[in-house]
Amino acid sequence: MTIEELIDLQEAGSRARVLGLKAHENPYLAAHRVPISDTSALGDWLARHDAWKFGWEAEDACREGRIVVH
């Protein structure tokens, strides 16, 4: 995964939170996206899952007032 893809996935997670989706609605949790037989793809899948989740959680923290601004 490139840095551009990572940023795109984080932005997608953030947009999902803005639109009201829940964390469990991460598209990388869909059964057809989880690698079952190809263990070499598991690391890439996990990185994509985590990037989306990071974006979602960052936006959620902003909206819930859990980020302190100095």
* CA–CA gap between residue 67 and residue 59 (Å, rounded): 10
Q: What is the structure's pLDDT at 40?
A: 82
Q: What is the structure's pLDDT at 67?
A: 64
Residue pair 32/9 in contact (Cβ under 8 Å)? The answer is no
Q: What is the pLDDT of residues 4-52, one digit of tens each?
A: 999 999 999 999 999 999 999 999 999 898 888 888 899 999 999 999 9
* CA–CA gap between residue 38 and residue 4 (Å, rounded): 24
Q: What is the structure's pLDDT at 36?
A: 86
